[in-house]
Structure 1
């Protein structure tokens, strides 16, 4: 069992930031991928119902029912499977890069600080924890 590595990314609130998925490149064979965050404070919802945004890799969007999995205190942010992307939170400013699988924020907010992990092909453990510090 290999030890986890840690990476720190510091960004100013209001700027854009890309969190790269460690060990993943444009040539990687990805069948499923999840971005999660532990310690993040999600933005207050602007609507009374929880919903997610479903976007296929060609950019079309549909509305889908939202939900969260309470396995740990980590919050699932983005999920990729079967060539489709589901953005579970902050759809208006968070997305997944369709070629590199990086998590994109535009813009990043103070409440986005936390520990981000990218789980590839249904692995239960990440290789790296990315600590996002928002100033």
Structure 2
């Protein structure tokens, strides 16, 4: 049995306060028993990653997409406001709250999660494999 635990360091970039060692929030995701969906896609094609537990009819007031492999927040949605933190020209949020990457690059290979309405654990892990 393989146990996978990811650590994600979140550093607030919009806070007017100095960030020191005690102020840095750390998120821990134990995804060892979380359902996993694998998606295989050829490089330079567009691909939408589904957000497990959400669809276009879901009541979503907050949503975050994380790259577990790259240890970073990709995008943040809150009350009809969307902030894309990386690759703004390639990343968008779909109507069903999936994350669309256009086009997919080999560097996008990795594990992704979305957190709905400030949940502490994801409903699933999406493993993107770029061919």
Above 0.5 in TM-score? Answer: yes
1:29 counterpart residue number: 59
Residue 77 (structure 2) aligned to one of 77, 80, 101? 80
Quick check: which has more Rg, 1 or 2?
2
Residue 102 (structure 2) aligned to one of 92, 97, 106? 106
Mapped to 2, the partners of 1:110 and 1:25 lie a distance apart of 27
Instruction: Figure out how many residues of one structure are paired with residues of the other and give that number.
Output: 99
Query: Is contact 2:50-2:126 (8 Å) kept?
Result: no
Mapped to 2, the partners of 1:122 and 1:102 lie a distance apart of 16
Specify which structure has the bigger relative contact order, considering alpha-carbon pairs within 8 angstroms and separated by 6 or more residues.
Answer: 1
2:9 counterpart residue number: none
Unpaired runs of at least 5, structure 1: 41-73
- Give TM-score, length-normalised by structure 1: 0.71
Aligned-pair CA distance for 1:25: 1.2
RMSD (Å) for aligned C-alpha atoms: 0.9
- Give TM-score, length-normalised by structure 2: 0.73
Which consecutive aligned stretches of 4+ in structure 1 deviate over 2 angstroms post-superposition? none
